[in-house]
Structure 1
């Protein structure tokens, strides 16, 4: 049963990593000039919500987040009760702070996701949003307005730091759990995980910072 939980954690975690990349690439439109960003970002958002295939993928995403969080909580509780698996392993990779605090990092990310969904997903789906000049829901203005608040920008940056640590350990751990781990490429997989985590999280963190300093 423990192996099954770890497999679920790995499958859902790696799927969420892939989603993060797609989400990041789509959101890079926020770095465009205001008028161009508004047009393209709103079109992109409208496309995502109106496409049947994307809707199915979004349900898989929601389920993956839920399962990943539930199994992470179960594994963390069981590790605490058993005294913690990392305490019995003196190897450097097992003693890294990120690997020993995946539960804590995951909790920060989960709380951030609740805030993120409330700020944008919920508002887009159920809130009253005006239309842009091209007839699409103006999510861009919602994003810009939100990131004009310094405290919210700070929360996003802190959350991205937590996510970077979570990803750096989680990617190599997930690949190893799925049996896709060749001892010859241990370092390369670890380097890939770190590089991916830095690229994605720095990119996401720069978006609210960029908007905060350029939309005043």
Structure 2
């Protein structure tokens, strides 16, 4: 067995893979939140629908998307393997558990990760799968007067069964026809149970990132008295507070204001 293979089959190697995939997923969260904040634009879903169309039809983005899916599965798989190995290493629990200096989030990463993985399955089946592989998502047509900049929106039903999207210009009017994923978002966020599940998942995400982001840097040995406080600050305020709150705000705002 090669030294490289031995390294990545070791416990440290598995933790390193988890750290790398975890940091990649953290980067994705920043980009995804930025795109999803387009939902707050008061433009009949134009910005968000065009953004969703771009994500699913621009080849480089599609490649990155599949790398993302693989990263999620690898991260979850190695987390499960490490959890099982840790339990096998100590099969008998303590008669009286000593006080631990570790945080609640670090002690419950398995539970938090399970909640997030279940949420991802629900979330992707409700949005990503229906958007790409079913005909349950309708279409929207946006007409923008290029001289005034005014945009009007209307439902659109394509004649061709394989229609995906189109952009054209007629009489100084830009016509954009795209799938109306914004309507699906509005429908899902009008369901109180979906909103509750979404908010709970974002709470789990906050605690998961509170420990996970900082732990990834420690695993890779990037610990320094000068930079560690910066890592802790970013991990706490950006990833454990701002990003989960940003995601959680979307279903809450839609539920109370868009119905």
1:68 corresponds, among 51, 72, 75, to: 75
TM-score by length of 1: 0.92
Unaligned runs of 5+ in 1: none
| Cα shift at 1:214 | 1.1
1:2 corresponds, among 8, 11, 17, to: 11
- The C-alpha deviation readout for 1:162-199, integer Å capped at 9, x for no partner, is 00000010000001111222134333322221112210
* Contact 1:98 1:165 (C-alpha < 8 Å) held by counterparts: yes
Q: Helix, strand or coil for the counterpart of 1:132?
A: strand
| Cα shift at 1:37 | 5.1
| Cα shift at 1:31 | 1.2
Q: 1:204 to 1:74 in 2, by over 3 A?
A: same
Q: How far apart in 2 are the matches of 1:19 and 1:104?
A: 22
Taking only aligned residues, the RMSD between alpha carbons, in angstroms, comes to 1.7
Q: 1:37 to 1:202 in 2, by over 3 A?
A: farther
* Contact 1:109 1:162 (C-alpha < 8 Å) held by counterparts: yes
- Answer 1 or 2: higher relative contact order, Cα 8 Å, separation at least 6: 1
**Other-structure match for 2:132:** 125
Q: Helix, strand or coil for the counterpart of 2:45?
A: helix
**Matched positions, count:** 210
2:245 corresponds, among 164, 185, 202, to: 202
Q: How far apart in 2 are the matches of 1:154 and 1:16?
A: 23
2:152 is aligned with 1:141: no
Larger radius of gyration: 2
Unaligned runs of 5+ in 2: 1-9, 143-176
1:173 corresponds, among 206, 209, 215, to: 215
| Cα shift at 1:82 | 1.8
- The C-alpha deviation readout for 1:101-148, integer Å capped at 9, x for no partner, is 101100000000000001100110112111111310000000001100
TM-score by length of 2: 0.78
* Contact 2:195 2:252 (C-alpha < 8 Å) held by counterparts: yes
Q: 1:37 to 1:14 in 2, by over 3 A?
A: farther
2:235 is aligned with 1:188: no
More helix by share: 1
Question: Structure 1 residue runs of 4+, over 6 Å off?
Answer: 87-91
| Cα shift at 1:204 | 0.2
**Other-structure match for 1:27:** 36
Once the two structures are superposed, the pairs formed by residues 155-174 of structure 1 within 5 Å of their partners are: 155-174=197-216
